[in-house]
Structure 1
Amino acid sequence: MEKVSLLPPWSGRNQGAFSSSASHQTQAPRSKSPKSTGARVCLQSTSGRSSSPSLQSYIQLQVGNAFCRTTSSPRGSLWSGSRPAQFLLACCVLSCLLSHLPLSSFCAAQIRRNHDPDERLTGQFLHITDIHPDEYYIASGSISSSCHRNTTDDDKWQTMRPGRTDGFGGVYGSPYSICDSPFTLTNATFDWIDKNLIGKIDFVVWTGDNARHDSDNEYPRTQKEIEVLNRQIANMFLKTFTPDEDDPFQQRVPVIPSIGNNDVYPHNIMEAGPNRILQHFSDIWSEFIPESQYHTFQHGGYYTVEVIPDKISVMALNTLYFFNQNAAVDGCDEEDEPGTDQMDWLEVELESMRKRGMTAYLTGHVPPARKSYSPSCFVRYTDIALRFQDVIVGHLYGHANIDHFFILSQATLKDDEDRKKALEEARLLGESDSEIALSKVMQDDAPDFEYDQFHTFGLSSYLLELWEQYEDIPKRIKLSDYAIVLVSPSVIPTYNPTLRVYAYQLATERGSDMSTSVNPVKELGGWIVADDTQEKMRYDGEELEDLVLDQDDDPEGLKEKKKPKKPKKPKKPKKPKKPKKPKRPANPPAAPPTTFGFPLNYTQYWVNLTQANMELKQPEYVIEYRTHEEWGLKDLSVSEWLGLARRIIHDERVKKQYLAWMVVLTGAENDSY
C-alpha cells in the first residue's frame, strides 16, 4: 500500500506533515530528539487492508481534522500550542484502528503522556522578578547619571535607590548601583534560561517590574515607553518557552506574570478596572492568561492558572490594589474598593480549590508586608493566608530586590479590633485609609519607617523590623498561627542578578534523600525542639489551653490547681446575655510536605557581574546557595523557616551569612548594617 501523507489544516506547506527535513521548520528549533518516527511507522501500518488507499487517506484526514477542532482548548491551558500533537495523536490512533491492528506501544505511550501530564513533570519551577531593562543604558555611562551619560555631574535622583553612585557602568551592568539593567544582561539572562532550564521546569512565576525606574530627569519615563518595554519582555518569554517543533507532543510551559509598581504610569498608581493599563496587559499577555480568566483580569489585573490541572494552581495577584503608595485606591474595607473585590475573589477561588483537593501558590509583585500594604489589606491578606494554609503552600513575591523571608502571624488579627477603632477615629477626622497606612495606627510596636523606604535609607532601618519579627517568635507556639512569605532577589543589579528555581513534591511520600544531618529543628514526641535554645514549639495544630500535661511535664506549674469547693449561694436571676460576635474559625493545619505541589527546596542562582565585566564574557548564572544543602532545611515548611529565624538571631555566624546572601554577595551589608 502507498504511503499516506497527512497535512494539518493550519499548514500551508505541500510536503508531508511528518517530514524531518529542517527546511520545513519556520524557526530554528532547540536540539532535541524528534518524536515523530513512531507516528510515521504507525501511519504506514496498513498491510492486510483491502479498502482503497485514497478512501483511507480521506477518512483519516477528515476525522483527524474534526478531532483537532473538537479537542482544541482555550488559550493558556494545558493543551495550548499543541494542535500538531492533537492531530498526530488522532491520526496515529485512527490509522491503527482502520488497519484492524491493536494500538501500538507508541500510540499508547503518547496517549498516556498527553492525558496524564504527570509523566512529563520535572518537579521544578522558575521564579524570576524585577528585570528593569533600560534602553538608555550605556556601558561607559556614569553611575551618578543612572548610566545614561558620560558625565560625573551629581544627579539629584541618586539617593532614591540604594547602591554606589561613583564610577561608570559595565558592559553587562553595574552591581550594587542605582543603574537599571542593560539589554546585554537581559538577553544573557534569557539565553541562560534557554540553555539550562528548558525541559527542566514545569512552569514560570514572573512577578513584574519590566520597565526602568523613573530616575533621570533628562529621560523621563512615558506611558508608551513602559508599554513597549513590557511587550519586549513578554515576547522574550514567548520566544524562550516556545514548544519545540521537533517534539509535536510538547506543550508550552505555563508562564504566570503579575503587574509591578513600575509597569504602570505614573509608577505605583492604578485606578479600579477596567482601565487602559489592564487592557494593554490583557493584550500583551494574551498567551499567558487562560481564556476562562480573561474577564477577571480585565476587571482587576488578577487571575489564576492551573499549571498542573486539578492539582496545582498559581494565583497572580494585582498587589497595586493593596499597595499603600497607590493613591488611586483606598484599602480593603469598603465594598466598592478594587482591593476588597480582589480579596473576595481570592477567598472564593481558594475555597473552590480546597473542595477539589488542590494546592495553590500566591504570587505577586509587592510582598504582603505591614509597611507596604494598607492596614485593612494587610490584615485581610494575613487572615486568608492562615485560614487557607491547607491549600496555600507558598507566598512568592519580588519588588524588594533583597533575598529574605518574613513572617505573617495570628497576632496581627488579634490587633485588628484596635486597628478598626483607630481607623474609625481617623476617618472621622477626614483621613483616608491610604493616609492612615503611613500614620501611627499600626506603628505602636514597630520602627518609624515605611517598608519601601529602604530604597532611600539603605538596609539598616528595614532590617530592624525583620530582626524584631525573628526575635518575637514565642517560646511555645502553634505553627498554624504562622505563614512564611518568600521574597526573591532581582535580575536588576541593585546588588547582583539572580534567578530562583524551586523543587516541589511530586511523590506521595517523601524520599529518603530529603533527610539532613544539619537540621535547624528536630521533631521529638509531637514537639519541635530548636537545637540552639531547646525551646518547644507546637506543630500539631492543637490549642495550647487544651493540652494535657503530665505532672513531670509541668515544672512551671502551668496546670491549674484545683481549689476546695465553696458552699453554693442562692442563684440570682440571670440578666439577658448580649449576643456575641461570631468567632473566627480556628486555622486549619498546614498542608504537610507530602502534599503534591508542596515546595521542598530552592536553588538560588547568581551572576558575578564584576567578573563578567572584567572578562567581557557573557554572564553565566551559577549556584549561590541551596536551602537544603547550605541552610539544612528539610523542606520549606513553616517549622523549618522559624527554626532558621531562631538561628539567625542566636548565631552571629548564621546572621552574617544570611546578610551576605541577602545582598547577593556584593558586600553591601557592610555599608548598611
Structure 2
Amino acid sequence: MDKFLAPHTPEAAAHTHLSENWFNWDLDHPSLNETLVAGCASYRAFDRYLSGADLFLLPRNRAELESILKRYSYDVIHNAIAKSRSTLQPGGYSRTISHTLSSYSSNLQRKVVWADMLAFTALLITAVGLGDTLASPFQVALQASNPNFLDKKWTSEGLEITQGLIVILSALLVPPTYHAFYTSRHDNDPKLPRTPNEIYDLNRQVTAKMKEVFTSKGIAVVPSLGNNDVWRPNSITNEFSQIWDAFIPFPHHQVFQRGAYFSVEVIPDHVAVISLNTMYFYDSNKVVGGCGFHDRNDPGNLQLDWLEVQLKSYRNRDMQFSFVEAIDLEFASVKARSKKGPLSLYDTLLNEFSAIPTKPKDVNYSDYAVVNTAPPVVPNPYLPSFRVFAYNVTGTEIRIRKQPRTTGKRKHGHHRGDHGDKDAHCRTPENQETWKCFLNETWYSDPESPSRSNKLWTPLGYAQYFIPDLENANKTHRPKFTLEYLTFPPRLLHPPTADGETDKFHYPIPPQYLPKSLQEPRVTESSKYAPYQMVDLTIPSWVELAQKLGAGEDKKLRKRFRKYMYMGGEEG
C-alpha cells in the first residue's frame, strides 16, 4: 500500500506509524493528532473491506461503499477504546490515550472530509485503528450497561456470574441432557456498540466454559442463535460454526453455515433437540422475506423445508424431540396481542386462560402446546436465572424398531396444517395467496406422546433459580443463586415414606439445592416455593393450571403467578 502514497503526506505518515508501532504506542507521551488517527483508521477499515470480512452485498455505488467503510471504522475505534480502558489485559493503553481516542472519535465523525480521503485511497476516515484486540468483552459489556453500578459494586469480569451458573448446573444435571445458551451483551449503546469481534469473543469464552463443564462429561450442549449474537448483515454463520464446532454434529455443519440451524440427538435414537434460527421467520429482518409465500427460496421457507424433513425422520424412528430458539414464536404472538390492546401481558394471558373449556370432554389437547420461556438475562432489568428440569426415565432400555415407518414421497413445500375455518379464511382476497390456503396435509398429533401423559421422557417438573439481591453484590459479597420456585408438589421431592428407601428414590432436585424448609420430608402439602403443585409437565397438567388461573377463585395462586411471571418486578 505504501508505494501508492506520496512521500511526506499525512496518509504516508499514518501508514508508517501504523506499520512500525502496531502494538507499541507510547504509553506515557502519545503523539496523536486527528490526521494520524484518521489515517490509521482508513487502513484498518479498508483492509477489512478488501478481505471481505462480514461483507454480505458488494456496494453498488459510492454511498454504499461509504456506509460499509463507516461501519467497519466504528468497529475499529470502539475496539481501540475498549482496549485502552482495559485494566485486565497486559499492555493496556494509558488513560491518556483512552481519553484522546474518545474525544477524537466524536470529532472525526463530524470533521473528516470524506470525499478527499475516499478519492485518494478509497478508504474511510472516521476513527482510529489500533488493531483488533479487545478488552475483556465482559468488562466492556458491564461498563456499557451500567457504569455507575460498576463504580460502586464488584467490577471483576462478568464471567463470574456465568461461570457460577454453569458450575451449579454441572452439579445439578445428569447426562445426557441439553442446555440452550446464547450470549452477547444485550444493550444498544450508540457510544459503545457491539462489534463482531466482541460478539465472537463473548461466545468463545462461554463456549469454552460450557465445553469444560458439560461437553467433556458427555452432556450435549445445544446453543441457539440470538438477535444479540449477530451483526448486520446476517453473515456470521461461518464464524459461529467454528465457535460451536463441538456442539454441532458434523452432518449439520453445512446446513448451519447456510442458515444457523441444526439438530442434535441428545439421547441417540431416542430424544433430539432442534435448534432453530427464528430470526429468519420475521419480515422485520430486512435481509430475509419473513417466509413470504411467493419466495420459495426465502431463508425462512428453506428452514421450514429442512425442519419438515427432520420431523418426519424423527417420527419414523419413534423418537421424541423438542425445539430451542431465541424467540418463542407463540409467546411473541401473545405479547404482540397484549401491546395492541389496553391490557397488560398478565391480563391478556388470564383472559385467554379463562376461555379454555372447563369440562374435560370439551378440551382437545391437540390444540395446545407447551412453550417454556425462561427469564431473559438482559440489562434493565438484569435477571440471571436458569431452570433445572426433571424427566421420567423409567424403562430407558433401548428399544429398536424392526421396521421403520414409511411415508409417501415428500412434496416440496410447507405442510403446516389445515385446522381452523380455512374455507372462510381463504375466501377473503388478502388471504388467498398465503401459505395457509395452500397447505393441506393433516395436522400431526399423537395422543400417546410423552407430552400428553406421564411416561418415558415426560418432563416431570422444573426448579427456577435466580439472584434475588444482585444489587447488593460486591467484591466481598458475591451474588448467590437461590431457588425462586418449583412446579413440583413438596411431597414428590422426597421418598414417599419417612424412613424411606432412599437408595432407590431418585430426587427430582437434589436436596442440598433446596431451601432449608424443603430439605426435610415433613413438608408435604404447601410451601411458598411450590404454588403450582403439578405432578408432571404434560399438556393436560398445564391446561389444568391455566384453567385454575383463568377461573380466578384462587387469589393466592394468581398473585404467585404474577410475581414469578415478572420475577417480582413490573411489566415494562
Q: Distance in 1 between matches of 2:558 and 2:151?
A: 32
1:171–1:613 Cα contact (<8 Å) kept = yes
Q: Distance in 2 between matches of 1:627 and 1:469?
A: 21
What is the CA distance between 1:473 and its match in structure 2? 1.6
Q: Which runs of 5+ in 2 are unaligned?
A: 1-135, 397-418, 420-437, 490-529
What is the CA distance between 1:591 and its match in structure 2? 0.8
Task: Indicate the residue corresponding to 1:504 in structure 2.
Answer: 391
Q: 1:586 to 1:257 in 2, by over 3 A?
A: closer
1:256–1:314 Cα contact (<8 Å) kept = yes
Do residues 659 (structure 1) and 562 (structure 2) align?
Answer: yes
Q: Distance in 2 between matches of 1:344 and 1:628?
A: 38
Q: Distance in 2 between matches of 1:362 and 1:598?
A: 15
Task: Indicate the residue corresponding to 1:51 in structure 2.
Answer: none
Q: Distance in 2 between matches of 1:460 and 1:318?
A: 30
Task: Indicate the residue corresponding to 1:344 in structure 2.
Answer: 305
Question: 259, 267, 271: which is aligned to 2:225?
Answer: 259
Task: Indicate the residue corresponding to 2:569 in structure 1.
Answer: 668
Task: Indicate the residue corresponding to 2:201 in structure 1.
Answer: 228
Question: 146, 152, 159: which is aligned to 1:183?
Answer: 159
Alignment of 1:490-639 (within 5 A): 490-492=376-378, 494-508=381-395, 584-585=442-443, 587-589=445-447, 591-592=449-450, 593-610=453-470, 613=473, 616-629=476-489, 630=530, 631-639=532-540
2:388–2:463 Cα contact (<8 Å) kept = yes
Alignment of 1:217-366 (within 5 A): 217-241=190-214, 243=216, 251-266=217-232, 270=234, 276-332=235-291, 333=293, 334-366=295-327
> Given the two structures, how large is their TM-score scaled by the length of structure 1?
0.47
What is the CA distance between 1:233 and its match in structure 2? 1.4
Q: Distance in 2 between matches of 1:300 and 1:583?
A: 26
What is the CA distance between 1:240 and its match in structure 2? 2.0
Q: Distance in 2 between matches of 1:616 and 1:489?
A: 27
Query: Partner letter of residue 139 of structure 2?
Result: E
Query: Partner letter of residue 289 of structure 1?
Result: I
Do residues 205 (structure 1) and 179 (structure 2) align?
Answer: yes
Q: Which runs of 5+ in 1 are unaligned?
A: 1-131, 151-165, 174-180, 244-250, 271-275, 373-405, 408-442, 451-458, 510-542, 544-579
SS class of match (1:501)? strand
Q: 1:224 to 1:655 in 2, by over 3 A?
A: same
1:495–1:663 Cα contact (<8 Å) kept = no
Q: Distance in 1 between matches of 2:184 and 2:444?
A: 42
1:601–1:628 Cα contact (<8 Å) kept = yes
What is the CA distance between 1:447 and its match in structure 2? 4.3
2:186–2:378 Cα contact (<8 Å) kept = no
Which structure would you say has the larger RCO, counting Cα contacts within 8 Å and 6 or more residues apart? 1
Task: Indicate the residue corresponding to 1:470 in structure 2.
Answer: 353
1:359–1:596 Cα contact (<8 Å) kept = no
Do residues 483 (structure 1) and 369 (structure 2) align?
Answer: yes
Do residues 170 (structure 1) and 153 (structure 2) align?
Answer: yes
Cα deviation code 1:34-58 (max 9, x no counterpart): xxxxxxxxxxxxxxxxxxxxxxxxx
Which segment is superposed worse, 220-229 or 280-289? Answer: 220-229
Q: 1:206 to 1:301 in 2, by over 3 A?
A: same
SS class of match (2:344)? helix
Q: 1:596 to 1:280 in 2, by over 3 A?
A: same
What is the CA distance between 1:465 and its match in structure 2? 3.2
Q: Distance in 2 between matches of 1:364 and 1:654?
A: 29
Q: Distance in 2 between matches of 1:293 and 1:302?
A: 8
1:508–1:595 Cα contact (<8 Å) kept = no
Q: Distance in 1 between matches of 2:471 and 2:338?
A: 38
Q: 1:309 to 1:280 in 2, by over 3 A?
A: same
Question: 132, 136, 139: which is aligned to 1:135?
Answer: 139
1:172–1:619 Cα contact (<8 Å) kept = no
What is the CA distance between 1:137 and its match in structure 2? 5.1
What is the CA distance between 1:314 and its match in structure 2? 0.8
Cα deviation code 1:485-539 (max 9, x no counterpart): 1101134463532111111121149xxxxxxxxxxxxxxxxxxxxxxxxxxxxxx
Task: Indicate the residue corresponding to 2:547 in structure 1.
Answer: 646
SS class of match (1:310)? coil
1:172–1:612 Cα contact (<8 Å) kept = no
Q: Distance in 2 between matches of 1:304 and 1:582?
A: 26
1:628–1:634 Cα contact (<8 Å) kept = yes
Q: 1:354 to 1:230 in 2, by over 3 A?
A: same
Query: Partner letter of residue 213 of structure 1?
Result: H
Q: Distance in 2 between matches of 1:206 and 1:260?
A: 11
Task: Indicate the residue corresponding to 1:93 in structure 2.
Answer: none
Identity %: 32
Cα deviation code 1:71-108 (max 9, x no counterpart): xxxxxxxxxxxxxxxxxxxxxxxxxxxxxxxxxxxxxx
Superposition RMSD in Å? 3.4
Q: 1:584 to 1:293 in 2, by over 3 A?
A: same
Q: Distance in 2 between matches of 1:608 and 1:632?
A: 23
SS class of match (2:228)? coil
SS class of match (1:488)? coil
1:206–1:255 Cα contact (<8 Å) kept = yes
Q: Distance in 2 between matches of 1:231 and 1:362?
A: 23
SS class of match (1:205)? coil
Task: Indicate the residue corresponding to 1:49 in structure 2.
Answer: none
Cα deviation code 1:368-422 (max 9, x no counterpart): 13745xxxxxxxxxxxxxxxxxxxxxxxxxxxxxxxxx79xxxxxxxxxxxxxxx
Query: Partner letter of residue 556 of structure 2?
Result: R
Cα deviation code 1:118-157 (max 9, x no counterpart): xxxxxxxxxxxxxx9742256xx7xxx6313x5xxxxxxx
Q: Distance in 2 between matches of 1:663 and 1:133?
A: 28
The structure richer in strand per residue is: 1
Q: Distance in 1 between matches of 2:251 and 2:190?
A: 42
Q: Distance in 1 between matches of 2:448 and 2:137?
A: 39
What is the CA distance between 1:612 and its match in structure 2? 5.5
What is the CA distance between 1:363 and its match in structure 2? 0.9
Q: Distance in 1 between matches of 2:220 and 2:463?
A: 20
1:302–1:318 Cα contact (<8 Å) kept = yes
> Given the two structures, how large is their TM-score scaled by the length of structure 2?
0.55
2:272–2:322 Cα contact (<8 Å) kept = yes
Q: Distance in 1 between matches of 2:226 and 2:444?
A: 34
